[in-house]
Amino acid sequence: MATIAIWKRTKIPAECTTERQSVVVRSPGGSGRPDNPYESEFSRRVEREASLGEKANTAALLAGRAIFGGFFLMNAFNHFTKADMMAGYSASKGVPAPKLAVLGSGALIGLGGLSLLFGVKPKVGAGMIAACLLGVTPKMHDFWNQTDPKEKMNNQVNFMKNAALLGGASLAAAVPEPWPVSLGNR
């Protein structure tokens, strides 16, 4: 069964005060929004698809935040629990104050990972991660200085991995704030 809605339209300019009424037939089970004689099925479909697209973007951003932020949290945890082992490797690369460097880099990536995961100041968090990667990567993964083929390959793989992570941090910094479903929205 259809319902009939009556709309009043007022013509503009103001000196013309003629009022007309329009009759619109709406089928039951409609969108639940007020009837609008100027809205087409096409415009309703476009709006619905945009809404679905926003939900998909939100889901993709949430998954990316969990994976990317979680990766840096896991590595920060390793920096703190395996600080002595990592400090020994850092010392072999000629890093001054190696244990302090390991703990400092762990703090940077940990805070950055938390920021991205929870969406609180994500541009700052992405900047912390980028700063750590830019400082650490050339020193710790200097494959161009290696003579042993296995070590050279290992360092080149890690160098390229860090370069890709730097790209991911740049992408995260490019997402407009506030991020959906984040503590930064409050």
Tens digit of pLDDT for each residue in 93-148? Answer: 999 999 999 999 999 999 999 999 999 999 999 999 999 999 999 999 999 999 99
In a domain, 1, yes or no: no
**Is the pTM here over 0.75, yes or no?**
no
Q: Do 112 and 178 touch, CB atoms closer than 8 A?
A: no
In a domain, 57, yes or no: yes
In a domain, 111, yes or no: yes
pLDDT at residue 13 is higher than 60: no
DSSP 8-state secondary structure symbol assigned to residue 34: P
Tally of domains in the chain: 1
Q: What is the mean pLDDT of residues 179-184?
A: 82
In a domain, 128, yes or no: yes
Q: Which residue has the higher pLDDT, 19 or 73?
A: 73
Q: Residues with Cβ < 8 Å from 135, sequence gap 6 or more?
A: 105
In a domain, 123, yes or no: yes
Q: Is 121 left (phi over 0), alpha (psi -120 to 50) or beta?
A: left
Find where tokens 């390959």 sit. Answer: 153
Q: Which residue has the higher pLDDT, 183 or 26?
A: 183
Q: What is the mean pLDDT of residues 40-62?
A: 72
Q: What is the DSSP string of 89-100?
A: HHHHTT-SSHHH
In a domain, 78, yes or no: yes
Question: What confidence score (pLDDT) does residue 26 get?
Answer: 52
User: pLDDT digits over 152-162, tens only?
Assistant: 999 999 999 99
Query: Domain containing 161: what range?
Result: 43-178
In a domain, 112, yes or no: yes
In a domain, 10, yes or no: no
